[in-house]
Amino acid sequence: WDGDLFRECSLKELGLVIQLDHQTKCPLPQNCNGKFCILDSTGIHDVNVLFCGCLNANPQYIQLLRRSLYPATLAQGKIKTVAMFHYLEQLHLLTLTTKASAYDFYLAIAKTTDNMGL
């Protein structure tokens, strides 16, 4: 809401922060530093992610897997895109029952996020 009307915005713009490996605030959070996307059956979402940076913290990929997030892409050695487990399960069912490819499924989800291609 911008005072006059509702406008589209990302979960990141709304201030959502996903803290990994802690039930409460981490004393040594590590920001993902940049764009971080989650592929979900409801769309493609830009979010803020904070990894646990404590001394005995699990590796980042383990922190993600514990939250049902499967690391999908890397850039400069950092995880940039993850897929929700239920997104992957939906893709698996689709490939078992149709001739659609993973790319076709991704395009359909991308259209759910932004059907205008903007």
Task: Report the domain count for the chain.
Answer: 1
Going by pLDDT thresholds of 50, 70 and 90, the confidence category of residue 118 is low
Is 92 contained in some domain?
yes
Is 58 contained in some domain?
yes
Instruction: Look at residue 68 in the predicted model and tell me its pLDDT.
Output: 95
Instruction: Look at residue 26 in the predicted model and tell me its pLDDT.
Output: 86
Is 6 contained in some domain?
no
Residue 24, judged by CB atoms within 10 A of its CB (0-12, 13-18, 19+), counts as: exposed
User: Residue 100 above 90 pLDDT?
Assistant: no
Calpha distance 59→61 (Å, rounded): 6
Q: Mean pLDDT across the chain, nearest whole number?
A: 88
Instruction: Look at residue 116 in the predicted model and tell me its pLDDT.
Output: 66
Question: What predicted TM-score, i.e. pTM, was given to this entire model?
Answer: 0.83
Is 106 contained in some domain?
yes
Q: Domain of 21?
A: 17-113
Among 55, 53, 8, 14, residue whose Cα is nearest residue 33: 53
Task: Read off the pLDDT of residues 29-62 as tens digits, 9 standing for 90 and up.
Answer: 888 877 889 999 889 999 999 999 999 999 999 9
Beta bridge partners, 95, equal none
Among 30, 31, 21, 28, residue whose Cα is nearest residue 66: 21
Query: What does the buried/exposed string (b/e) look like for 52-91 if buried means 16 or more CB atoms within 10 Å of the residue's CB?
Result: beeeebeebeebbeeeebeebeeeeeebbbbbbeebbeeb
Is 72 contained in some domain?
yes
Instruction: Look at residue 117 in the predicted model and tell me its pLDDT.
Output: 59
Is 34 contained in some domain?
yes
In the predicted model, what is the mean pLDDT of residues 83-102? 92
